[in-house]
Amino acid sequence: MNKLAIALIAAATTTGIATAQTSRLEWRVDGNSAAVVNAGDTVLVEGFLSWDIQGVGLSSADYTITLDGADMPDGLNYAEPAFGRNALMLSPAPQVIVDTPTPAGRQIVDAGPFGTIGAFQLPGMFNPFFQTQNPVRVFSFEFTAGDAGRDVTIGGTLTSTAIYTDMMGGSAFANERMVDNATVSIVPTPGTGALIASAGLLATRRRRKA
């Protein structure tokens, strides 16, 4: 291989590294990657989107939310809209968010034809409420634990991310997208094990007397 070919390959590799633009959707439970709760407890689940693209703020993102291990008795309260759906001039359209059962548990999606939840805001030039945070919270919901003895893994997919490169509306897209899961471990309420053991011992004594 001649020197010119080697130089071209090196340049292409360097360019590929330089243009790799990533975004990450990180789920947190009460601010952490994992939480241990009792049946009946409620925790706050939040999704934060971050990116390494040079820009001024989030333009849009599309994602779904999965709760593997969740049961229908688990309570989900997602009354707060997704990012960009709750203030004047942030979004052109509302969304209808629903949760449905899946073979692995449950999922939270948009009721529209595509299913993905959409975060969106207009460019800063046209949007007095423009948000520049990175990471930025794009979704949150309350999770109330049902039956104990399970782990619920909160994750999903991040299908697109666009970042404004200027306040006029220029944008760049992330070509690598990742999701960091969070876990809720549901354990019995303190004292439940002792009550069960006491009930078993009492039943054994009764059988012996009989």
State the DSSP string of 16-27.
HHHH--EEEEEE
In a domain, 124, yes or no: yes
Domain residue limits at 111: 23-203
β pairing state of 57-68 and 150-164: antiparallel
In a domain, 177, yes or no: yes
In a domain, 4, yes or no: no
CB 73 within 8 A of CB 148: no
pLDDT score, position 198: 46
pLDDT score, position 86: 57
Residues 6+ apart with CB under 8 A from 53: 21, 22, 23, 163, 165, 172, 174
In a domain, 162, yes or no: yes
In a domain, 208, yes or no: no
In a domain, 9, yes or no: no
pLDDT score, position 129: 87
In a domain, 92, yes or no: yes
- The number of domains in the chain is 1
In a domain, 209, yes or no: no
SS3 label, residue 151: strand
Report mean pLDDT in 10-residue bins for the chain, 210 residues.
39 43 97 97 97 95 97 90 65 77 96 87 91 95 96 97 96 96 94 49 52
pLDDT score, position 10: 37
CB 104 within 8 A of CB 98: no
Q: What does residue 127 show for φ and ψ, rounded to 5 degrees?
A: -130, 100
HSE of 11, CA atoms in CB hemisphere, 13 A:
6
pLDDT score, position 178: 97
CATH number of the domain within which 193 lies: 2.60.40.680
Give the closest residue to 119 by CA, choosing from 67, 164, 63.
63
pLDDT score, position 95: 77
